[in-house]
Amino acid sequence: GQNIDQPTEMTATEGAIVQINCTYQTSGFNGLFWYQQHAGEAPTFLSYNVLDGLEEKGRFSSFLSRSKGYSYLLLKELQMKDSASYLCAVSPRGDYKLSFGAGTTVTVRA
């Protein structure tokens, strides 16, 4: 089976930085995804890493280390609208059938 772990909850202050860690043990690896999900809404794509290193996209960055089975999502200059659940997902194969972690609920406080 697939095992994907991420913290349940994190709280941070508006304007600060938060790092959400994700570790995985899967039967194969064809990429790691981060999705954002606001309460009651559909998940929306944030990032995709398939090679080691850091991918930066505006205020959001995602890092991958395949040898360590580890990724993180870095959210900078936090805004209230960033309060949401952040989902780490791994595609073990090329069919992109995703295995998800339970999600990390981030609460941004003023």
Can you tell me which of 78, 84, 98, 106 binds another protein, judged by CB under 8 A? 98
User: How many CA atoms lie within 13 Å of 63's alpha carbon, on the beta-carbon side?
Assistant: 13
Q: Residue 105 to residues 2, 12, 29, 65, 89: CA-CA distances in angstroms?
A: 21, 11, 25, 23, 15
Q: Judge contact between 25 and 12, C-beta under 8 A.
A: no
- Give least dist CB 9 to another protein, A: 11
Which residue, 78 or 101, is less far from another protein as judged by CB?
A: 101
Restricting to residues 13-72, name those near another protein by CB under 8 A: 31, 33, 35, 41-45, 48
Site residues (vs another protein, CB under 8 A): 4, 31, 33, 35, 41-45, 48, 87, 89, 91, 95-103
